Amino acid sequence: MPLRRALAGLLLLVLAACGPGPEDTPRDTSPLASDSELATAAITGSAVYDAALGAPRCGTVGSLCGTGTLVAGRGPLGPELNAPNTLHSSCGDGTVGTYQSDESLEALKVYTLDGSNFAPGKTVTLEASVWAYSSPEVDSLDLYYAANANSPSWTFIATLRPEAGGLQLLSTSYTLPTGSLQAIRGVYRFSGDAVPCSSGVYDDHDDLVFAVGTGGGGDTTPPTSSITAPAAGSTLAGTVSVSASASDNVGVTRVEFYAGGTHIGTDTTAPYSISWNTAEVANGTYSLTSRAHDAAGNVGTSAAVSVSVSNTGGGGCGTTQQLLLNPGFESGNVSWSASQGVIASNPSTARTGSWRALLGGLGFVGSWSVSQQITIPSTACSATLRIWLKVTTAEESTSFGYDTLSVQLQNTSGIWVATLGSYSNLDASSGYVERTFDLTTYKGQTLLLAFEAEEDAFYQSSFFVDDTSLTVIR
């Protein structure tokens, strides 16, 4: 594996120096897809190659669009028809390796969750079939969308990673922007960074273009929801159940619960209910609401139910409060500052829920970070940071930490203040392990809580972080 990485780096330098690049690729002279072909594509969900755009296209609004076998292969490997299959031939593919042994992006597909036509605001699923290298930890799939396929400006959606070699199906979801002709791009790469057009000699890039309607024929009716427990005026202590009812003309996909503006939980299955640990918030009055979501992206918010929280304790330190925002990452890349792709949805690697932070895991020289500003009250009797950490690694050493993660406190300018904990490939475990840190000595200060990871040039180490909390008692 190290030999392959070294060869890849050398080849990349050679090819960059002597070409050919995408601009040297002869333009495809295939005829334009006919109107009847594009209409058929919308019905079947199968795109046809559009020589004017240089990519597969579904030209009539539908609910599904897929490349089929149009992008199978990678440039001369396969070979791939009409390579590189990127808009206006703007991004060429790597030409090194063997088909269905080394990396290739085999197909792309996008479809609505409710079967209705593409429209702005719709939540859609994006699927990609990839051929993963036999050591899949070195591969990544970066996904992007463009609201205007004629003049694309690429917006990052997610980075996905295969868990085994060979043909793999990877998927994620995103919300369609406004635009009548949109595009998605898949970048399947060996090592490297997430960019819309990478330069790796094993990398494959493919686009898919599809028409999007105005939304007039789609589902625009929001769900309805109401808090069913606790009752208005209740006084709460400890852990309590918060329940809601929800209904929709098509179907409810999830219900989120809020105490004021703070997200306290999500349930995806009726009857909708969560457990709320009121000891994690200060005593006082809270307005509980539920927000029901449907597959079309419509949201309905319940009427507020006012409750009081009253947790008591002795010795003048009877109020417990959890300070971190979005502590389990379930709201996505919100309230944290993170390197691209670090916070992502992957239920198979999250400790609880669907979201977690993953630092590293690519097996090349690089660094990753995720941080959040915190203020520990000067009146705190204690302040305790808890995180759940899982480390997996392909490193073989049992004596040297090649890849590292540090849990740090920094000042608001990002200058190091203290290292709370240091971990490496030597801390690999089969599951998540709770780590606890006493931050009481930092009361009265505003700081950055930061997770910083670094990898060397060889075998990967993945640092998974989930279910964080910073609990103060005052």
The CATH number assigned to the domain holding 260 equals: 2.60.40.10
| pLDDT value for 21 | 36
Residue 239 placed within a domain: yes
If asked whether residues 233 and 147 sit together in one domain, one would say no
Residue in 145, 217, 208 with CA at minimum distance from that of residue 179: 145
Residue 219 placed within a domain: no
> What's the mean pLDDT when you consider all of the chain?
86
Residue 16 — very low, low, confident or very high, per pLDDT cuts 50/70/90? very low
* Greater model confidence, 36 or 103: 103
Residue 174 placed within a domain: yes
Rg of the chain on CA atoms, in Å:
25
If asked whether residues 184 and 248 sit together in one domain, one would say no
User: Which residues are within 8 A (CB) of 261 and not within 5 positions of it... i.e. 6 or more apart?
Assistant: none
Cα 97 from Cα 162, distance rounded (Å): 19
Cα 267 from Cα 261, distance rounded (Å): 17
Looking at the structure of the chain, the number of domains it has is 3
Among 188, 211, 234, where does a domain finish? 211
Sign of CA dihedral 100, 105, 110, 113: positive
Beta 272-277 vs 155-160: how paired, if at all?
Answer: unpaired
Report which DSSP code applies to 136.
G
pTM of the model: 0.46
Residue in 354, 292, 353, 283 with CA at minimum distance from that of residue 320: 283
If asked whether residues 76 and 26 sit together in one domain, one would say yes
3-state secondary structure of 239: strand
If asked whether residues 244 and 279 sit together in one domain, one would say yes
If asked whether residues 47 and 10 sit together in one domain, one would say yes
Q: Per-residue pLDDT tens for 226-251?
A: 999 999 999 998 889 999 999 988 78
If asked whether residues 426 and 282 sit together in one domain, one would say no
pLDDT at 15 over 50: no
| pLDDT value for 313 | 58
Cα 189 from Cα 93, distance rounded (Å): 10
Residue 36 — very low, low, confident or very high, per pLDDT cuts 50/70/90? very low
Residue 324 placed within a domain: no
Q: State the residue range of the domain holding 460.
A: 337-473
